[in-house]
Structures are given as C-alpha cells and as structure tokens.
Homo-oligomer: A and B are copies of this chain.
C-alpha cells in the first residue's frame, strides 16, 4: 500500500479537518491526553487542556524505524555498561566535576553513597534513544537513522506517545483520513501499535519482583515510590503507569512523593531498607522496592535537603531508577565521548560498535584537545557553525544554541568555560507535510519528526568483581514528535513540538 501513496498527507477538505479537530479534542478529554493546569486557585478544582498533537500520522521510513527498534537493546546494554563503570565515568566527567556545580553535586552524592557501601546490586533503567532521519549528501541517497541523544533519567513522553498513536489508529478506523492510510474500519497497518505504557509498567513490575526475591523478611509489605515534581502539569504522562502497577494481580502499591518532601516521609531501616510513611499510605511504613524518579534532574532541586534526600535514596537498599551513575550517563558529554574513536569498543564487541556508530552524527568536545580545537574553529565561524548545534555538556535536552547564533553566544562567555559544551552537527532531516494543533492554533506546513525508542533494562552489578549481569533488556515502545520545520526545539510540554505517530513508508 505504502508505495502507492501519491501525496505525503491525507487530502482532507476543510470540513474534514474541522470534524477531525472536534474528534481529537473530545478524544483527548476522554483519554487523558492533557496537560494539567496547576495554577488553578481552587484546591478542589482541576483544569486541563489538550496536549499539542498532529492531526494525523506523519511519514517515516519503515527501515529506519525498524532499525531503531532493533538497536534499542544494544544501546540499553551499552549504557548499562557505562553506568557500571565509575572509572570511565569519573575520567570523562572529570572536567565537569571540577567546573560544574551540578555534576559535582551528583558525583559527590554518589561518592558518599559508595563510601558507605552499595547494598543494592540491581538497578533499573528506563531509557529513550532519540533519532531523526537524514538524507545523505547527494540528496537522493537512502535515509539514514541518526541519533539525537540518549536519555537515561526521568524519561518522559511514553504515555502521551502511546495515547496519541492509539488515537490516530482509532481515527483511521472511523474513516477520518478517508482511505489514505488504508481501508477505514480496518486496523491501521502503517502505524505500528505502541505499547509503551504496558512496557514501562512491565519494567517496574520486574524490578519490584526482583526486590521481593531478595527480601529476608517476606512479611513486610513492599511497594514502588514515584518521586515527582510538585506542581506537575504533566501528570497525564505519569499517572497511567501508577494505575498499571495497581492493576497488576496482586496489585503493586505505588505512592507519589514530591522530591522536596523526601526527607519528611522516607527513612532507612536496620538493613538500609527504604521505608516510606504517609497519611495516604495505610501500610506505613512501606518498604520501597523500587524508587522511580520523575524529578531530581534540575540543579535547583539540589539544595541541602535535596542533596540529603538523593543520598538517602542512593545508599538505601531500594532499586533505583535511575541510579546516580546511570543518571550521569544522560549527560551530553557521555554521548560525545562515545563518538570518539575506540571508545565504544571498550564496552561492546566490534561488529555491534559499528552498528551503533553508524547512527552517530559528528559530535565534538569543545575542550583544548586536538578535536576540541577543531570544533572551536567550526563554532566561532558563522559560515561553518550554521551546520552545528552547541549543547551544554551536562543536559539531557534543552538550552541548546543553534547554527549562526553559536559564534555570538560564545563571545558572551569566557573561553575557559567553552569546555562545558559539546558541538554536534545538525541532522538535516527531510520535511513532510503535516497539520499540527495546539492551544496556539493550527499549523499547516512542512514538518520535521523525531523518533524516540523506549528501552527498559534491569541489571545486577556484582561489587566483588565489577561484572554486570543483565536480567532484562527490552525495547518497550516509542514516542514520535513532530514540529514545524522552522522550530528548533522539540519539547512538547514546553510548547515547541507535537505528539504524533509515524506512518511507516518504504523508501522511494
């Protein structure tokens, strides 16, 4: 079917688009595809708005999608091995630990926990590898899958992506897209089923059960603790995971705790069990099997209490998602280091390294090494910087400087601070026509999409010999975000991107 498409988007009339928008709004309301308005004054009231979405699935090459899915367990393993190697991390992060307060803060917490002895060998990782596709230089070569970034900490968007894919599949069935994606009433073939919610719940469930197997005292009630931000407008991306855990049989208790309130509700038991007490938890104190962080990734969360709280979690017996070392692997500096010759090979066999490396875009340090000096030359010259993005070394997304802005930006900061950035080549993605709706209106024009593949990994790091045993390693779904071509950032909750789904097409 796919190869017979004559246009890149469904040929919808204005009345059809109007009807589609009405159907989407109501679907969002009835399925929790919403952003919560957290500034409502009334405590007893909740207001919400629909999340920005694409009206229909956007074309994406099938081979690239399948490749990204296939690579996920390999990337999971790579990042697990990095997170299990504090030698490697301490070496590559050394300049940041020295110059950057946040990196130093996290590293110090890790070091303090390590000093007291790590009592939990098992860690859970919820990862997301983000990609765009790139057309090769001659502009008519095959599409190439290129990695934008790899996220290991407080990875979001899985629930929204799942719901939007479900919505597009439903709308197709009702004939809202005519016959563009195949026959109405039939299941949609071009958009893959997205089971991210189930996959993430499955990962947390596995970790919970592993913890149970380790327990000496089986009488004690255990449950999972979600560490969340207060005033969180993105609860629709978190709550369905909790409901999924409660709906296991037997149910897995899950409670939420604000990062800033950890010290008020959490303490350590005699064997460093993490114990949670709250008026809302009738099992208090509940022994926490897994602590799942959807907070604790912003520097300003780490005041004295924040540091003490993260240390308490880290040195406890609970399974962390993520552990501090795993959290640190989300920094761009790690991604840049992995792109250096010979580095991947420290962690994986050569043929697998080649497979992963093919997805890397050129990425450079901005330090005083030979490669760093080359990158600085590229960055300070507006003629060359136009093809690059300057990213803070330590972040998992956001605060990037794009193209010709880079040279002006670098003029504003002292040269000895430049090493806090990395320079990455812009991925030149082909555009696809799309129609995107949000509170700000409807955009109808060329768009660019980003595929994120979710991975779940559960591993045991044996302290005595530093070996890693991988207990579970899965790809568990995907997210697909689309933005207007001119937009630089992709974040949906910040108002740039739109959740969407990929309509998989064969290459022309």
Q: A-side interface residues toward B, CB under 8 Å?
A: 13, 15-16, 18-21, 23, 25-32, 34, 36, 42-50, 170, 173-176, 178-179, 184-185, 235-236, 239-240, 243, 246, 250-251, 253-255, 278-283, 437-442
* A253 partner residues in chain B, CB cutoff 8 A: 174-175, 185
A397 to chain B, nearest CB (A): 25
A170 in complex: contacting residue of B27, B246, B279, CB < 8 Å: B246
Closest to A45 in B: B439
B441 & A42 in contact (Cβ 8 Å cutoff)? yes
B48 & A21 in contact (Cβ 8 Å cutoff)? no
A268 to chain B, nearest CB (A): 23
B46 & A49 in contact (Cβ 8 Å cutoff)? yes
* A246 partner residues in chain B, CB cutoff 8 A: 170, 173-174
* A173 partner residues in chain B, CB cutoff 8 A: 246, 251
Given A29-B236, A44-B439, A185-B253, 15 extra CB contacts under 8 A: A19-B278, A20-B280, A25-B46, A27-B239, A29-B32, A29-B34, A29-B48, A34-B48, A42-B439, A43-B442, A46-B49, A47-B49, A48-B48, A174-B254, A184-B282
Q: Within the assembled complex, what's the spacing in Å between the Cα atoms of A235 and B246?
A: 28
A30 & B279 in contact (Cβ 8 Å cutoff)? no
* A280 partner residues in chain B, CB cutoff 8 A: 15-16, 19-20, 23, 174-176
Closest to A232 in B: B26
* A44 partner residues in chain B, CB cutoff 8 A: 21, 437-442
* A243 partner residues in chain B, CB cutoff 8 A: 30, 170
Q: Within the assembled complex, what's the spacing in Å between the Cα atoms of A318 and B239?
A: 42
* A281 partner residues in chain B, CB cutoff 8 A: 175
B32 & A184 in contact (Cβ 8 Å cutoff)? no
A18 to chain B, nearest CB (A): 8
A279 in complex: contacting residue of B19, B23, B239, B282, CB < 8 Å: B19
A32 in complex: contacting residue of B32, B175, B240, CB < 8 Å: B32
* A29 partner residues in chain B, CB cutoff 8 A: 32, 34, 36, 46, 48, 235-236, 239
A228 to chain B, nearest CB (A): 11
Q: Within the assembled complex, what's the spacing in Å between the Cα atoms of A246 and B239?
A: 26
Closest to A32 in B: B30
A296 to chain B, nearest CB (A): 20
A46 to chain B, nearest CB (A): 4
* A49 partner residues in chain B, CB cutoff 8 A: 45-48
* A178 partner residues in chain B, CB cutoff 8 A: 282
* A437 partner residues in chain B, CB cutoff 8 A: 44
* A31 partner residues in chain B, CB cutoff 8 A: 32
Q: Within the assembled complex, what's the spacing in Å between the Cα atoms of A109 and B48?
A: 42
A279 & B16 in contact (Cβ 8 Å cutoff)? yes
B30 & A240 in contact (Cβ 8 Å cutoff)? yes
Closest to A55 in B: B44
* A440 partner residues in chain B, CB cutoff 8 A: 42, 44
Query: Among the interface residues A13, A48, A243, A278, which one has the most CB atoms of the partner chain B within 10 A?
Result: A48
Q: Within the assembled complex, what's the spacing in Å between the Cα atoms of A20 and B256?
A: 12
A429 to chain B, nearest CB (A): 25
Q: Within the assembled complex, what's the spacing in Å between the Cα atoms of A30 and B51?
A: 12
A447 to chain B, nearest CB (A): 16
Q: Within the assembled complex, what's the spacing in Å between the Cα atoms of A185 and B16?
A: 47
Closest to A177 in B: B282
Q: List 10 A-B contacts (CB under 8 A).
A: A13-B279, A29-B32, A29-B236, A30-B32, A30-B235, A31-B32, A170-B246, A173-B251, A174-B253, A179-B282
Query: Among the interface residues A36, A185, A246, which one has the most CB atoms of the partner chain B within 10 A?
Result: A185
Q: Within the assembled complex, what's the spacing in Å between the Cα atoms of A236 and B32?
A: 11
Closest to A34 in B: B29
* A21 partner residues in chain B, CB cutoff 8 A: 43-44
A46 & B50 in contact (Cβ 8 Å cutoff)? yes
* A442 partner residues in chain B, CB cutoff 8 A: 43-44
* A278 partner residues in chain B, CB cutoff 8 A: 19
A175 & B283 in contact (Cβ 8 Å cutoff)? yes
* A184 partner residues in chain B, CB cutoff 8 A: 282-283
Q: Within the assembled complex, what's the spacing in Å between the Cα atoms of A217 and B72?
A: 52
Rank and list the top 6 A-B pairs by shortest CB-CB distance, nearest first. A175-B282, A30-B32, A19-B280, A25-B46, A15-B279, A44-B437
A51 to chain B, nearest CB (A): 10
A54 to chain B, nearest CB (A): 12
* A43 partner residues in chain B, CB cutoff 8 A: 18, 21, 442
* A185 partner residues in chain B, CB cutoff 8 A: 250-251, 253
